[in-house]
Amino acid sequence: MLRLLASSCARGPGPGVGARPVAGLCHLGLRQSRQASDAPRNQPPSPELVARSVGVCSMMRLPVQTSPEGLDAAFIGVPLDTGTSNRPGARFGPRRIREESVMLRTANPSTGALPFQSLMVADLGDVNVNLYNLQDSCRRIQEAYEKIVAAGCIPLTLGGDHTITYPILQAMAKKHGPVGLLHVDAHTDTADKALGEKLYHGAPFRRCVDEGLLDCKRVAQIGIRGYSTTLDPYRYNRSQGFRVVLAEDCWMKSLVPLMAEIRQQMGGKPIYISFDIDALDPAYAPGTGTPEIAGLTPSQALEIIRGCQGLNVVGCDLVEVSPPYDLSGNTALLAANLLFEMLCALPKVTTV
């Protein structure tokens, strides 16, 4: 049994029960079991039939399920912010992203993607993290994700601070070997340690390199910016073979040509997408713990994720949404949209 709990705003079923339909929607037949490739799949309810304020607060009001069995992809929350270095609150990110996801719909006219006609998708609730012990939380996350990926389910993660990507990639590498990484962020997150600690949200990818979890020639970091204690803050990353794309090299331009180069770099091997919401300028995404000025725009974020169509994406995360600093809810709304775009970019998603 996965060490998962249903979302705090979408309590899961009792022992022995695989999934539960969204409250009040049973008569619509929205929950289906995957029994054949042409069998009906889970569908988020249409706002034309069910008011957005109705139902359990799951991602896109999808069924909440306690097991990844039978799923092609799943949304999972990791409500952890014990690794933050500045403003806390990312532990509330998964809940708020789910709330804002009621605005999403089932089709993506811009890309032609129809994910719910292609994949069986559900919400697996939250990993049962230990807010008092970061090392124990990482162990719990790794164990949960090992079970998810072993079931053939692609995880789309709602963070949580960026520490969580480290144990997720431990689980990914156990199945796929070293993976490529598309990392969108204001920060490289490759510091060695802070205050004597090697495990925090500024160091996940340093730990991943240390453990051989990444195919370093297939790592790209986009949106990097901010002041530093040295004039060459990216020396370590480039020495490992990472491609580092600074935010200032993205200003005032489309990133479609860049993503064509990234697709060539990644090839057909497994790739993981990790998207820190602070990659975006705080004018668009103020609700985050470590904001940096002069960041990417939402349209550039869409170009990055849509540019991953056709790649062998084996997992994704969206991290560092801090609702206490997101008074309008716009940061969480943006995060929900980007997670849907990630779903649309997964392998086997039908496009027309």
Annotated binding site for Mn(2+): 162, 185, 187, 189, 276, 278
Q: How far, CA to CA in Å, does 276 sit from each of 14, 30, 228, 250?
A: 34, 32, 19, 17
In sequence order, which residues have a C-beta less than 8 Å from that of residue 182 and are 6 or more positions away? 220, 222, 262, 266, 271, 272, 273, 274, 304, 308
Q: Which two tokens stand for residue 184?
A: 């969108």
Q: Which two tokens stand for residue 83?
A: 């690794």
- Bond from prior residue into 160 cis (ω within 30 degrees of 0): yes
- Measured over the CA atoms of residue 158, residue 162, residue 163 and residue 165, the dihedral's sign is positive
Cα 285 to Cα 334: distance, rounded to the nearest angstrom: 8
Of 15, 88, 75, 108, the residue nearest 289 (C-alpha): 88
Q: Which residues are annotated as a binding site?
A: 162, 185, 187, 189, 276, 278
Q: Are 119 and 39 in contact (CB under 8 A)?
A: no
Cα 165 to Cα 169: distance, rounded to the nearest angstrom: 6
* Chain centroid, CA 47 distance in Å: 25
